[in-house]
Amino acid sequence: EAQVTQNPRYLITVTGKKLTVTCSQNMNHEYMSWYRQDPGLGLRQIYYSMNVEVTDKGDVPEGYKVSRKEKRNFPLILESPSPNQTSLYFCASSMVRPDGASGAEAFFGQGTRLTVV
Amino acid sequence: AQKITQTQPGMFVQEKEAVTLDCTYDTSDPSYGLFWYKQPSSGEMIFLIYQGSYDQQNATEGRYSLNFQKARKSANLVISASQLGDSAMYFCAMREGRWDSGYALNFGKGTSLLVTP
């Protein structure tokens, strides 16, 4: 089954304790990205990757790191989490296609609800 | 400036009736893609339908259709024959610009749909 898998689904942690949220896709997609969802703000992109070893900042990258050593995995790293990073996080993947071509949709993981206290 | 505007924070519809969820977008790029996603209370993001800016016909996927009016920059989602399971938050999103760079989805703030018996 084609899917994007995030782990963990729920995480409560303390300020300053490094954590990693994993993301893995089995569709051989080139493009992967991370979003955070906050009430009233919708989804905002944190980081994205066009392919292995190619990553770049999205709209809200401060406080986050990513890596893309393999095509299927795109972990999100919070080196020193703070309470303002409490949010619902989504990993997404898609093929890279010109707009108008099929297969352009992004598939999302189940989400990771992070609470930093 | 807001790139995607969803003006209906909440909508009610009776089971088996059709409902239209509004979405307007703002871009000066001739190449863009428009997406609708469903987010049930469980939190996952489910892809519904996609429309490319060069597509001549409105996209349809089962009970979902996208009413694409390019001159008005609107991309309304029409759900026919609503079901109780359609109760969820619905997000309109747009991807613009070169398809081989950035590739971010800009999301609207969503419309909460409640289907009543």
Using CA atoms of A13, A14, A15, A19 in order, give the dihedral in degrees to the nearest 10. Answer: -40
Residuewise pLDDT in 10s, chain B (117 residues): 678 999 999 999 999 999 999 999 999 888 888 999 999 999 999 999 999 888 889 999 999 999 999 999 999 999 999 999 999 999 999 987 665 555 678 899 999 999 999
Q: Which residues on A lie below 8 Å from B50 (Cβ)?
A: 104-105
CB within 8 Å: B110 and A42: yes
The residue whose two tokens read 């359609």 is B86
pLDDT in tens, A41-96: 889 999 999 889 999 998 899 999 999 999 999 999 999 999 999 999 999 998 87
Task: Find which of B31, B103, B105, B111 to mutate to test the A interface (most A CBs within 10 Å of its CB).
Answer: B103
d(CA A6, CA A25): 9
Cis status, amide bond into A61, omega within 30 of 0: no
